[in-house]
Amino acid sequence: MPEQTPNPDFRSGFVTFVGRPNVGKSTLTNALVGTKVAITSDKPQTTRRAIRGIVNRPDGQLVIVDTPGIHKPRTLLGKRLNDLVDSTLRDVDVIGFCVPATEKVGPGDRRISESLDGFSRAKKIALVTKIDAAKPEQVIERLMEVNALRDDWAAVIPLSAVSGSADALDQLNVLLDQVLGLMPHGPALYDEGVVTDESLENRVAEIIREASLEGVRDELPHSLAVTIDDISEREDGSMTDIYANVFVERDSQKAIVIGHGGSRLRDVGARARAQIEPLVGTKVFLSLRVKVAKDWQRDPKLLGRLGF
């Protein structure tokens, strides 16, 4: 079979989306990749790692690096998350600055926009997200506010990543066209068909953490961390056994996660299994142990043990 001639017009590179916490960056990443590679939640600071999602198109390949939201850190974990964003921004080709259509541009947005001056190699685009939840006049107002933030936007694009309508898909395709057009010419960075380079262990841990976040309040979301002890398929292939730990910072938080008579932890397990089983391709036995790691967000050694 003759070897295929490389396409000289093929483009590839890295893009990341930045913004305040909970502006829709992970939802947008999943919508563009076409499958769930990053967990989502209405709780701020859900994303804690740089997660790569890969978009394959005939004319190019985009590697989307989903990062934590930029925020004023109150803990050592918060500082490390901001440092992670900073190091990611230094390596990407395009930075997409996200502002939700439902909220006015504020001091936090301006501070993030100004910080982009330090990443001169990357081209910048502005994205007004969540337009499905906004009135038309809000979208227009937001576009004007965002456009006024900088004079070097390569594009300013309104979009929705959740509605699934034909218009929403058109908006996502416009974004992909714009971003791919800003990428350098070059070969694919990942094999076709690969949607993420996240390990199975990391994806399972994140699914469990997402399930644990549902319904919790106040500071508990920030105190949750998940580690995996073991994932192993049984010899007959009928079941995958997963042993995982859910860490919190205080005994009172442990009681909340477990719930009365273990009811809440059972719900967490059921929600997590529903997403893990399609991922591993078998039924799942999931063992969850809730443990206390006192003030782990502020402890360098505990942060290291928990993967931060």
- What does the pLDDT look like over 146-161, one tens digit per residue? 999 999 999 999 998 8
Instruction: Answer yes or no: are the C-beta atoms of 69 and 47 closer than 8 Å.
Output: yes
Please identify, among 156, 182, 208, the residue that sits at the C-terminal boundary of a domain: 182
Is the pLDDT score of 11 beyond 50? yes
Instruction: Answer yes or no: are the C-beta atoms of 124 and 95 closer than 8 Å.
Output: yes
Low-confidence winner among 84-98, 210-224, 277-291 (lowest mean pLDDT)? 210-224
Q: Determine the Cα angle at 45 with ends 37 and 66, to 5°.
A: 35
Residue 192 lies in a domain: no
Report the CATH number at residue 276.
3.30.300.20
Is the pLDDT score of 55 beyond 60? yes
Same domain? For 149 and 231 the reply is no
Same domain? For 80 and 173 the reply is yes
Quick: pLDDT tens for 232-276.
999 998 999 999 999 999 999 999 999 999 999 999 999 999 999
Same domain? For 260 and 155 the reply is no
Same domain? For 158 and 270 the reply is no
Same domain? For 140 and 282 the reply is no
How do beta strands 123-129 and 94-100 pair? parallel
Same domain? For 63 and 174 the reply is yes
As given in the structure block, the two tokens for residue 238 are: 């009928």
As given in the structure block, the two tokens for residue 146 are: 């965002």
Same domain? For 160 and 114 the reply is yes
Please identify, among 121, 150, 182, the residue that sits at the C-terminal boundary of a domain: 182
Which helix (H) or strand (E) segment holds residue 32: the answer is helix 25-33
* Number of folded domains that form the chain: 2
Pick from 245, 242, 247: nearest CA to 230: 242
Which pLDDT does position 150 carry in this prediction?
95
Report the CATH number at residue 123.
3.40.50.300
Same domain? For 16 and 157 the reply is yes
Is the pLDDT score of 90 beyond 50? yes
Same domain? For 70 and 160 the reply is yes
Which pLDDT does position 1 carry in this prediction?
39
As given in the structure block, the two tokens for residue 25 are: 């960056």
Residue 91 lies in a domain: yes
Same domain? For 175 and 81 the reply is yes
Q: Give the predicted TM-score (pTM) of the model.
A: 0.79
Please identify, among 154, 182, 210, the residue that sits at the C-terminal boundary of a domain: 182
Residue 194 lies in a domain: no
Which helix (H) or strand (E) segment holds residue 63: the answer is strand 60-66
Residue 249 lies in a domain: yes
Residues paired with 225 in a beta bridge: 247
Residue 6 lies in a domain: no
Residue 94 lies in a domain: yes
Range of the domain at 268: 200-305
